[in-house]
């Protein structure tokens, strides 16, 4: 600050302006920054008129940079300007901001404030920085404490269907679900999980535990289900000689592509993984799974379990990385099943089941029902009074 020129910016040639080496940053007692007491640094010369001036000591906090980091991510190597205008226009706004509920009144608030200032100054083209905000749930864990309220670590506990006890004394413990904490001795170390089960299993289990926004208890026993899933994928799909050409499970394939694409966009990862379970079961149940189904399944699984899918993809003779391949698209016309199953009753009692083409008329369904082996036996020598067809639900053959 200069008495003659007022507030004057530091010339670019003098940037960056380094702070002085100070042994003790003690409060000044005047409400000013501790820097104000370093007179040799505060007192300077005005770069505009050459007169006496003082440096501003009310410095910006370091977290100010974190309020607009998302902009710098777009253009991190630009040494001329904060962000290239074309790059900002192409990539902004941010599609989805994920953070805990505390961010709504802290970082999110500050980031929006800074962004609006930058918008008013013409540096960005969007009024809002983020299109949507999602809060992730917390992964909680079981804790174990004795009658004195003392918490005990997992390796000191023996668990069974009836409860939990201390290994040394056999004392019964109280088990409850709480936030992971060192004091409660219920912290699950991710490094240990990775070492024991691998990254793909770890990722799948975390996303399969429950809805994204819900708090969920960690249970190492439940992770074994994802272990079996990955082993089944590896065992069933890694041999390229086992697969045939053809359309395969066309309707299910397109339904699964649609389902998983929508679930990923909505952060419904747990239901997406359930759909993958169903698709894998159907593929493995085929006598000769098609190459199309196997490759589509690997593409859909890749965001959740990248390591095993990339390895299998290479074994199937493909390059480059699976993650670089275009995401599969579904055909709305192929979401409809080619056929469906209908139960067949005779005088209201279930006698058989029938697979019916989706395009079959009422008359065609009646003929197929009477030709079904179990129905032929049940109606042999008897007169059919009428046939009731409830579309896509059931057929009831009424005898006189």
d(C-alpha 233, C-alpha 15), whole Å: 57
Residues recorded for the chain: 400
Local structure of residue 248 (DSSP, 8 states): -
How much is the pLDDT for 337? 76
Q: Tell me if residue 279 falls in helix, strand or coil.
A: helix
Q: Look at domain 223-333 and name its CATH class.
A: mainly alpha
Residue 120 structure tokens: 């008013």
pLDDT digits (tens, 9 = 90+) for 205-214: 999 999 999 9
Could you tell me the residue ranges of all domains in the chain?
12-54, 62-134, 223-333, 339-399
Q: How confident is the model over 310-336, as a mean pLDDT? A: 92
Per-residue pLDDT reduced to its tens digit, 155-189: 899 988 888 999 989 999 999 999 998 999 999 99
Task: Give the mean pLDDT of 8-36.
Answer: 84
pLDDT of 103 over the 80 cut: no
Provide the pLDDT for residue 36.
85
Q: Alpha helix locations (H) across the chain?
A: 39-42, 69-74, 85-91, 107-121, 190-197, 199-208, 224-237, 250-265, 269-285, 291-301, 306-315, 362-371, 373-379
> Which pLDDT band, with edges at 50, 70 and 90, does 150 fall under?
very high
The C-alpha atoms of residue 202 and residue 295 are separated, in whole angstroms, by 23
pLDDT over threshold 90, residue 400: no
pLDDT for 43 equals 95
CA dist 21 → 38, 53, 177, 339, 366 (Å):
10, 21, 49, 79, 93
The model carries a pTM of: 0.71
Percent of the chain with pLDDT over 70: 100
The confidence score (pLDDT) of residue 29 equals 79
Mean pLDDT over 307-336 rounds to 92
CA–CA separation, 207 and 209 (whole Å): 6
Model confidence at 61, pLDDT cuts 50, 70, 90, reads: confident
Residue 93 preceded by cis peptide, ω within 30 = yes
Task: Give, for 158, the enclosing helix (H) or strand (E).
Answer: strand 157-160
Instruction: Kindly report, residue by residue over 262-289, the tens digit of the pLDDT.
Output: 999 999 999 999 999 999 999 999 888 9
Using H for helix, E for strand and C for coil, what is the string for 78-125? CCCCCCCHHHHHHHCCECCEECCHHHHHCHHHHHHHHHHHHHHHCCCC
- Please state, in angstroms and rounded to a whole number, the distance separating the CA atoms of residues 23 and 39: 14
Average pLDDT of the chain is 91
**Overall average pLDDT of the 12-39 stretch:** 83
- Residue 17 backbone class (left: φ over 0; alpha: ψ -120 to 50; beta: rest): beta
The pLDDT, as a whole number, for residue 79 is 92
β pairing state of 339-346 and 394-399: parallel
The correct answer on CATH 3.40.50.300 for the domain covering 339-399 is: no
């Amino acid at each position: 600050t200069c008495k003659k020129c007022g507030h004057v910016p530091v010339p670019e040639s003098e940037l960056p302006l380094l702070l002085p080496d100070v042994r003790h940053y003690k409060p000044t007692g005047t409400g000013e920054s501790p820097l104000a007491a370093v007179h040799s640094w505060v007192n300077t010369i005005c770069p505009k008129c050459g007169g006496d001036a003082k440096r501003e000591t009310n410095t910006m906090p370091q977290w100010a940079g974190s309020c607009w980091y998302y902009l710098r991510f777009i253009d991190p190597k630009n040494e001329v300007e904060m962000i290239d205008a074309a790059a900002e226009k192409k990539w902004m706004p941010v599609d989805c901001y994920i953070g805990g509920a505390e961010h709504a009144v802290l970082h999110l608030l500050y980031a929006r404030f800074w962004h609006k200032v930058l918008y008013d100054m013409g540096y960005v083209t969007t009024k809002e920085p983020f299109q949507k905000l999602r809060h992730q749930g917390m992964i909680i864990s079981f804790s174990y404490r004795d009658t004195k309220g003392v918490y005990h670590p997992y390796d000191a506990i023996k668990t069974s269907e009836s409860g939990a006890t201390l290994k040394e004394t056999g004392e019964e413990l109280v088990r409850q679900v709480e936030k992971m904490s060192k004091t409660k001795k219920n912290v699950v170390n991710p490094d240990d999980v990775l070492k024991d089960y691998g990254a793909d299993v770890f990722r799948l289990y975390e996303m399969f535990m429950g809805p994204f926004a819900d708090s969920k208890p960690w249970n190492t026993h439940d992770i074994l289900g994802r272990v079996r899933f990955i082993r089944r994928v590896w065992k069933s799909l890694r041999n390229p000689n086992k697969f045939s050409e053809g359309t395969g499970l066309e309707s299910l394939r397109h339904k699964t592509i649609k389902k998983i694409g929508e679930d990923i966009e909505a952060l419904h990862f747990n239901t997406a993984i359930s759909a993958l379970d169903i698709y894998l079961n159907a593929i493995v149940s085929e006598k000769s799974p098609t190459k199309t189904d196997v490759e589509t399944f690997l593409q859909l699984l890749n965001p959740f379990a990248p390591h095993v899918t990339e390895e299998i993809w290479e074994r199937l003779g493909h390059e480059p990385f699976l993650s670089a391949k275009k995401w599969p698209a579904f055909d709305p016309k192929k979401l409809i099943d080619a056929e469906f199953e209908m139960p067949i009753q005779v005088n209201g009692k279930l006698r058989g089941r029938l697979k019916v083409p989706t395009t079959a008329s009422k008359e065609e369904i009646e003929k197929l029902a009477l030709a079904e082996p179990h129905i032929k036996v049940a109606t042999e020598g008897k007169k059919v009074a009428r046939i009731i067809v409830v579309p896509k639900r059931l057929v009831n053959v009424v005898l006189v």
